[in-house]
Amino acid sequence: MDKMNFVKNGVLRLPPGFRFHPTDEELVVQYLKRKVHSFPLPASIIPEVDVCKSDPWQLPGDCEQERFFFSTKEVKYPNGNRSNRATLSGYWKATGLDKQIVTSKNNQVVGMKKTLVFYKGKPPSGSRTDWIMHEYRLATPQLTSPAQGNENWVICRIFLKKRGSNATKNFDENAITSIGDVSHCNEVKPKPVFYDFMAANKRRRTDLNLKPVSSYSGSSGITDDACSCDELEENSSTKDDVLRKKQSS
């Protein structure tokens, strides 16, 4: 069976409808481990590119999609293990801690993943960009001789971090302006006014133009008219008594 080759001129070209979305475990076990030990690959789908020879936007492939490359680590100093990740106009800077890649069956650590961010300019005063790289390496290559393979091989997954779209932002601004001026949202609403009806009733009772209301009208049912009638009857009885005394004398 012929080996499938989907890389042409350093660019991944898959048939329509096919996508390359491997997991971290698949990248390390099926591709990187085979590459390090010079074993046949499942498919020629990851090109060999020195990612530090070019800036991320100059690498082969579509910049809008995530890209995978086989690359080799270049040491920065002859007697050290620190990698040289300087490019033409910037450098890759590691961030955070390395993540272990474990198998799904027995939780065996097979690789490590390092996250790097691309900076423009010279360190340490470079400006951060949205370019991200995940660098995969084997946990323990276990190579006894150079003939068995190259343990400096790594897989680099490079992509551009996407931020919020301008369409959503414009939609939110239009929605606010259609309702009204934004400044109206911060206006202080008037406080509710409470009327003291009991106080108004008291003012009515103290008005001199109004007839005073008896305090007993609510409980005993006796009105001011009833009181005036009793006074008239009492005055008439006293007059009758005076007339009787004169007649008797």
CB 127 within 8 A of CB 121: yes
Query: Nearest 10 degrees: CA dihedral of 33, 7, 119, 100?
Result: -20
| CB neighbourhood size of 51 (10 A) | 22
pLDDT in tens, 3-52: 666 776 667 777 788 888 999 999 999 999 999 999 999 888 999 999 99
Closest CA to 152 of 162, 138, 173: 138
Q: How are beta strands 7-8 and 109-120 bridged, if at all?
A: unpaired
Sign of torsion, CA 177 179 184 187?
Answer: negative
* pLDDT of amino acid 206: 53
- Domains of the chain in start order, with CATH, are 7-167 (2.170.150.80)
* pLDDT of amino acid 13: 77
- Residue 140 pLDDT level (bands cut at 50, 70, 90): confident
- Residue 136 pLDDT level (bands cut at 50, 70, 90): very high
pLDDT in tens, 74-119: 766 665 567 788 999 999 999 999 999 999 999 999 999 999 999 9
pLDDT in tens, 179-196: 344 444 444 556 666 666
* pLDDT of amino acid 180: 43
pLDDT at 173 over 50: no
What's the CA gap between 221 and 225, in Å, rounded?
11
Identify the residue with better confidence: 143 or 120.
120
pLDDT in tens, 54-72: 999 999 988 989 999 999 9
Report helix, strand or coil for 8: strand
What's the CA gap between 95 and 115, in Å, rounded?
6
* pLDDT of amino acid 226: 45
- Six token digits for residue 181: 């001026």
| CB neighbourhood size of 148 (10 A) | 13
pLDDT at 145 over 60: no
- From residue 133, how far is each of 21, 93, 114 by CA, in Å? 15, 10, 8
* pLDDT of amino acid 189: 56
What's the CA gap between 10 and 220, in Å, rounded?
109
Question: How many angstroms from the chain centroid is the CA of residue 201?
Answer: 58
- pTM recorded for the entire structure: 0.60
pLDDT in tens, 213-247: 554 444 444 444 544 545 555 555 566 666 666 66
